[in-house]
Amino acid sequence: MMLETVLTISLATSVIIALLLCLSPLLDKRYSARWRYFVWLIIAVRLVIPVNIRLPQAPVRITMPEQVVVIRAGGPTAVDVMTEEERSEAARYEASSLNYAPVMSLSELFTCIWIAGTAVFLIVHIAGYIRFRLRIRPCLRDTERNNVKICPGISAPLAVGFIRPVILLPDMVYTDEELGFILAHEVMHIKRGDLWYKLLLVAANAVHWFNPLVYLMVNRAERDLEYCCDYMVVKNKDIEYRKKYSMTILKHTRNKGRDGGSK
């Protein structure tokens, strides 16, 4: 049953997520954001694959006949052995005698609720992304750089698009140094495939929309994603470059997350 498998996976990963979140103050000191980036990636992949991993079955299986205890009135207790066909026939007879025909079992009801919740979650996110793209499309302005556009409708730089990514910049005045830092950050996101990483997080959140720990994991994974991107940009750079880069990114991404199409 699909829902049973999803619940099993959600429960198992919740233990790991809770442990990582509780130990995050210690782990942040001992391990880099890049390590945490891959840990959240592995968990997200596990969440979107609704398959339980089981050991192979034994080559020889022995099935014992089921014993049914029957209490006969006026006599001692007797034990009868029923075959599979006899049990099926008895079940059909009992159902017909009671004239009972359930419309939907409880497990089927919960499965429908889970599917509906997943569909609503995806529809809301997809509709928000489409609405954002439609809102900004009329006001985009080209720049001298390829795949870099000015967008007055946003408050922070961001990259959008999965097939042909485009970097969007707010309609602001930048120094050459600031623009270099911002473009380095966004280009690094594109090179690393971080837009697809975020799409994976959305998919994991959609499948497990009922699990609050998955929401916490997604929030933390997106934060570590930004830290990992910053680390890759300033890698092998001197302290002066790192200081200026950090100040620029902090200044121009303070409002990130308020735009519907944030990467």
User: SS3 of 171, please?
Assistant: coil
> Alpha-carbon torsion 37, 42, 44, 45, what sign?
positive
pLDDT digits (tens, 9 = 90+) for 173-222: 889 999 999 999 999 999 999 999 999 999 999 999 999 999 999 999 99
Looking at residue 90, its amino acid is A
- Say if residues 117 and 109 touch (Cβ distance below 8 Å): no
- Say if residues 146 and 39 touch (Cβ distance below 8 Å): no
Residue predicted with more confidence, 168 or 144: 168
Looking at residue 256, its pLDDT comes to 60
Tokens 């569909």 sit on residue: 119
pLDDT digits (tens, 9 = 90+) for 19-42: 999 988 887 777 778 888 999 999
37 burial (CB, 10 Å; 0-12 / 13-18 / 19+) is buried
